[in-house]
Amino acid sequence: MGTRTNVERRTVLKAAGISAVTLGVAATGCGGNDGTSADGNVTIRYSWWGAEERAKKINQSIALFEKKYPKIKVKTDFQDYPSFWEKFQTQAAGGNPPDVFQNAVGFLRKYDKRGVLLDLGSQIDAGNLSLDHFRAGVVKVGQVDGKQLGVPVGSNTMALVIDKKVYEKAGVDPTAGWTWDEYFKALKTIHDKTEVPGDTGYFSIMYLYDLYLRQNGKAFFTKDGLGFEQSDLTEWWTDGYGRVKAGIVTSPKVVAQDTPKSSLSAGHGASEFTWDNFTVRYTAEGTSDYGLAPIPTTDGKDTGQYLASLMLSGSARTKHPKEVAQFIDFMVHDPAVGKIMGYDRGILATTDQYDAFKPTDVVQKEIAQYEVDTAKAGVLGTITPHPSGADTAESAFLRIGGDMALGKTKVADAVKQFFSEAQAAFSA
């Protein structure tokens, strides 16, 4: 799920080139047996995407799990985001996916359709996995058609990250309930007073467009396909192209040149829509002060926001569903794991871990407060269903939107291309 979501996935996770062996953990192999040794020990394979820091934290957590369950051993494997899914798709097609793995909402229907995902309902009924003590609304993110296909490890919601110094210099003070017209006016004010583009490229962020559509009674996805018309996207991308040409939005050429940094932290944009827990990257990359601002609205109230989540899923082919369930249960409930992981994968999903971890730095405190304030505002709704092929549609939206903004293709042609590629993805 998204920073520009794509930039976060491409860059921050790029550091994950480190191998499991480097971390002193056995690398995942394609075992020919069921992972049970002669002495009754069971080995399960766990894969995820993320950077080196996430890997260190996860391995610390696994050490605690193996101490509590000495007969269960966990072999690990991780890559950056694109490499993870490339490898996972190959493993799934070959009938050898990992026993348990990190997952996201855009992949649930896709891999459920292919019979890859374990319905955890039976393990919940057996008492091996508890769905108690989760923060309100989070568990539903992992549910599809009555099946529990994933268990959230953290939650996040879309936010607007701003360069506080630039906003203050321009005299712009975003407040809850501000409208899109006010937001776009603010972008121009920022550009006119500071010569910095007001936004780094809102128009190609699928999850942001979903919020805009939800504010207007539609949605990016239905459970079967797209929930909007070509005319809707034509209007959105036409406005975005116009603002790039006017210099109010950062040129995609500059965004590409700034990679692997964000154009916000590089000083080439004053704000960027992203998931709230990604805010930590800007402080690490940039030299300014960064904060969270409200999502603009259509009616002055409804933001269209919902809680999304990274989650843990099991393989339908695992020989050890009980052990997989016990592992997931431990990783989402154990307070010590919560203290180790912090907000690396979002605001901790269970109250057991949320209460155990007390953020000490300013950025993580602000992230937590943002979600508290958003929940209190009563604007959070239910996440939009994602059809099989949603991940491919998201990538196409980003790529084609970028080409459109560069003038490589006309808006009308870009819209037609996106709808064609999206429909093909849904039919695959």
Where along the chain do its domains lie?
4-105+118-141+320-356, 158-305+384-427
Alpha-carbon distance of 168 to 179, in angstroms, equals 19
CATH of domain 158-305+384-427: 3.40.190.10
Cis-peptide, bond into residue 260, ω within 30° of zero: yes
Give the tokens for residue 319: 């020989």
pLDDT of 30 reads 38
What's the whole-number mean pLDDT along residues 249-262?
A: 93
Interval 187-210: pLDDT, tens: 999 999 999 999 999 999 999 999
Alpha-carbon distance of 81 to 279, in angstroms, equals 18
> Is the CB of residue 422 less than 8 Å from the CB of residue 396?
yes
Q: How many Cβ atoms sit within 10 Å of the Cβ of residue 30? A: 8
User: What's the mean per-residue pLDDT of the chain?
Assistant: 90
**Whole-prediction pTM:** 0.84
Quickly state the pLDDT bin for 38 (edges 50, 70, 90). Answer: low
- Report helix angle 321-333 to 52-68, nearest 10: 110
What's the whole-number mean pLDDT along residues 81-95?
A: 94
Q: How far is CA 294 from CA 183, 261, 262, 331, 346, in A?
A: 10, 23, 20, 31, 18
Alpha-carbon distance of 375 to 157, in angstroms, equals 10
Q: How many Cβ atoms sit within 10 Å of the Cβ of residue 107? A: 23
Fold classification of 4-105+118-141+320-356 (topology level): D-Maltodextrin-Binding Protein; domain 2 (3.40.190)
Quickly state the pLDDT bin for 37 (edges 50, 70, 90). Answer: low
What SS3 state is found at 246? coil
Element (H, E) at 233: helix 230-245
Residues contacting 115, CB < 8 A, separation 6+: 316
Tell me the sheet residues that pair with 311: 103, 152
Range in 31-35, 362-366, 413-417 the model is least confident about: 31-35
Q: Is 308 left (phi over 0), alpha (psi -120 to 50) or beta?
A: beta
Element (H, E) at 356: helix 351-356
Q: At 82, phi and psi to the nearest 5?
A: -60, -40
Give the tokens for residue 395: 């990538």
Interval 349-367: pLDDT, tens: 999 999 999 998 888 899 9
Q: How far is CA 322 from CA 44, 45, 66, 169, in A?
A: 11, 14, 15, 57
Quickly state the pLDDT bin for 5 (edges 50, 70, 90). Answer: very low
Alpha-carbon distance of 173 to 328, in angstroms, equals 42
Q: How many Cβ atoms sit within 10 Å of the Cβ of residue 286? A: 16
What SS3 state is found at 380? coil
Interval 304-327: pLDDT, tens: 999 999 999 999 999 999 999 999
Interval 12-21: pLDDT, tens: 333 333 333 3
Intrachain domains 4-105+118-141+320-356 and 158-305+384-427 with the same fold: yes
24 pLDDT higher than 50: no
> Is the CB of residue 305 less than 8 Å from the CB of residue 381?
yes
CA nearest to 270, candidates 159, 172, 157: 172
Identify which has the larger pLDDT, 9 or 104.
104
The structure tokens 């871990």 sit at 353
> Is the CB of residue 250 less than 8 Å from the CB of residue 270?
no
pLDDT of 409 reads 96
Q: Characterize the bridge pairing of strands 100-104 and 42-49.
A: parallel
> Is the CB of residue 384 less than 8 Å from the CB of residue 214?
yes
